[in-house]
Amino acid sequence: MIKVLESVVSQVSIIGAYNTKFGSLVQKNKETGEVADLRSLYDLMIEAGRGALADAGLTAGEIDGVWVGSCAPGLFANQEHLAAFALEIDPIGLRYKPMTRCEDACASGSVALFDALYAVESGRVRTALVLGAEKMNLLDTKGVTHALATCSYWPDEGGLGTTFPGLFAEYAKGYARQYGYNAELLARMLASVSALCYRNGLDNPLAHFGKGGPSDRLGLTTVEAILALAPDKNPMIAEPLRLHDCSLITDGAAALVITKTSAVSEGSHKAVEIAGIAHCNERLALSHRQNLHELLAGKEAVRRAFAEAHIQAKDIDIAEVHDCFTINQLLTTEALGLSKDGQAGHDYLAGRFDRNDPQVAVNLSGGLKAKGHPVGATGVSMNALVYKQLVGEPVGAVPSRGQPEIGVAFNVGGSAVTNCVTVQRRIR
C-alpha cells in the first residue's frame, strides 16, 4: 500500500494570475462552413503568460521553468509540442528554460500546476510559470465530440459512440436511484445549479455566458425559467441531462506564477499560499467503478488535500468546483463536505452556496456552465480566479460575507477519473 504523506506542508505560493476572455473566439460562416480564427491558441497563450508575469511584477528572465496544461491541442488546433511555444511569451527572457506540457483531460491545468509545484518544492526551480490553454471552436460539433471522446476509455466508451454527456448521465441516473429522486425533482435540482452559475456569470466580464449573452437574454437565472424553456431550446442531450446541464465549448487560456513562500516579501497582499493539494485517480472505465452516485476518488482527494492544509469543510469561504455537467456540481459539493451525501440538490434548491451564503460561496466565477470550459485551461483558470478572490481582486460575483481567507478548487478530468483538489490560503 502506498503511504500518503499527510504531514507535508506546502512551501509554495501563488504571486500572480491572469485569465483571458473565454468564449467562442471564431467567426463561422454557416453557408460555407468556413471558420475564421479571431484569437488563436498562440495568441491566448501569449496573452495569459504575459498577463500573469505583469500581475506578479516579474520579468520572464526570473522564471525558471514553464508548465503548460492542454488536453488535445493536436486534435483541436493541429498543434502538438505545444509547451515549446510558451517561449514566445518572451523569446529572450524564456530562451533555454525548460517547458513541459501536461495532459490529464479536463484536469490538465491542475496537473500542470501540481508538477510545477513539485519542481519548486524540490529546489530545482525557484519561480515557475503555469499556463492552461485550449482552442476548441475551430472544429464543428462532431469534431469536438470526437476529440473529447478520446479522453474516455476508448474500447468500451468513446469507440462505441458514448459521449461525455452520456457518461455523466450514468452518474445522474445512479444518483437518482441511490437517493430515490424522481425525474421531476432531479430536473429541479440540476436546474438550480445552472441558475446559480448563470447568475454569477453575469458578474464575470471574462465569462463565455456573461452579461448580454444567451443566459442573460433568456433570463435563465431561476429554476423556473430554465424548466420553462421549450424542448427545442433545452433539448435532451443524454437523459436526464439537457442542454443547459452541459458546460460550454470554449476557447481560452489562464496562467499562474508560483514561487517559494520564503521568497515572498513580508506583508505582500499579492501572495496566496497553496496550503494543500491532492491528485487521486479513479479507474478509467465507468464500468469498473464501485458505484455511480458519489465521487469516491474525489472524496479521497478532498481528504488528503484538507489533511495537508489542516482544514475542514467548515473552514472554506469559497470554492470553484468542476461543473462540466450539473450533476457533477452536486457530486463535487458533496465530496467537499459542503453538503451531506444526497443533499446537495436540496441545498441548492434552498438557495445555498450563492454570494450571500453565510458559510461558503460556490462558483462565483459562473463555473464551467457560464464562465466556460476550455478543457486544458480550466484547472489553471479555477485556481487563478480563487486566487483573485483571495487577494481582493475578484473576477465574478463577490461574497457578501467579506474578504475570503480560504478557497478551494476541485478540478476533474475525464468522467471523474482525475480528481485534483487545491486549497489556497491568503497570507495575512
What is the DSSP track for 367-408? HHHHT-B-GGGHHHHHHHHHHHHHTT--SS---TT-S--EEE
Confidence at residue 269, expressed as pLDDT on a 0 to 100 scale: 72
**Residue 33: pLDDT band with limits 50, 70, 90:** confident
CB atoms within 10 A of CB 86: 27
For 259, the 3-state DSSP assignment is strand
Confidence at residue 9, expressed as pLDDT on a 0 to 100 scale: 53
Residue 257 is classified by DSSP as: E
For residue 377, pLDDT over 90 is answered with: yes
Contacts of 285 (CB under 8 A, 6+ apart): 153, 156, 157
For residue 1, pLDDT over 80 is answered with: no
Confidence at residue 373, expressed as pLDDT on a 0 to 100 scale: 98
For residue 2, pLDDT over 50 is answered with: no
Please, is 37 exposed, middle or buried when counting C-beta atoms within 10 Å of its C-beta (0-12, 13-18, 19+)?
Answer: middle
CATH number of 12-141+250-256: 3.40.47.10
Q: Which residue has the higher pLDDT, 6 or 342?
A: 342
What is the reported pTM? 0.96
Quote the CA–CA distance of 104 and 112 in Å, as a whole number.
9
Does the active-site annotation cover 373?
A: yes
Scanning the structure block, which residue is given the C-alpha cell 499527510? 6
26-40, 65-79, 189-203, 240-254: segment of lowest average pLDDT: 26-40
Taking residues 229-235, report their average pLDDT.
97
For residue 345, pLDDT over 90 is answered with: yes
For residue 80, pLDDT over 90 is answered with: yes
For the packed helices 326-335 and 164-179, what is the interaxial angle rounded to 10 degrees?
60
44 with 20: CB under 8 angstroms?
yes
**Residue 428: pLDDT band with limits 50, 70, 90:** confident
For residue 380, pLDDT over 90 is answered with: yes
Q: Which amino acid is at 366?
A: G
The DSSP line for 268-313 is -TT-EEEEEEEEEEPPSSGGG-S-SSS-HHHHHHHHHHHHHHT--G
Distances (CA, A) of 178 to 19, 62, 95, 171, 416: 39, 53, 55, 10, 18
**pLDDT, tens only, 111-162:** 999 999 999 999 999 999 999 999 999 999 999 999 999 999 999 999 999 9
Q: Which amino acid is at 93?
A: G
**pLDDT, tens only, 85-95:** 999 999 999 99
Helix residue spans in 9-163 (DSSP H): 41-56, 73-77, 108-122, 141-149
330 with 348: CB under 8 angstroms?
yes
- 386: closest CA among 361, 412, 369, 352? 361
Each domain of the chain, given as residue ranges in start order, spans 12-141+250-256
For residue 244, pLDDT over 90 is answered with: yes
- 389: closest CA among 311, 337, 309, 317? 317
Confidence at residue 142, expressed as pLDDT on a 0 to 100 scale: 95
Confidence at residue 306, expressed as pLDDT on a 0 to 100 scale: 98
* Catalytic position from the list 102, 324, 373, 420: 373
24-33, 147-156, 215-224, 321-330: segment of lowest average pLDDT: 24-33
* Catalytic position from the list 106, 197, 246, 324: 106
Taking residues 340-346, report their average pLDDT.
98
Scanning the structure block, which residue is given the C-alpha cell 524564456? 94
Average pLDDT, the chain: 96
Contacts of 152 (CB under 8 A, 6+ apart): 158, 162, 164, 167, 284, 414, 415
Quote the CA–CA distance of 203 and 275 in Å, as a whole number.
28
The neighbouring-strand residues paired with 254 are 19, 132
Confidence at residue 144, expressed as pLDDT on a 0 to 100 scale: 98
Confidence at residue 25, expressed as pLDDT on a 0 to 100 scale: 98
For the packed helices 326-335 and 183-201, what is the interaxial angle rounded to 10 degrees?
90
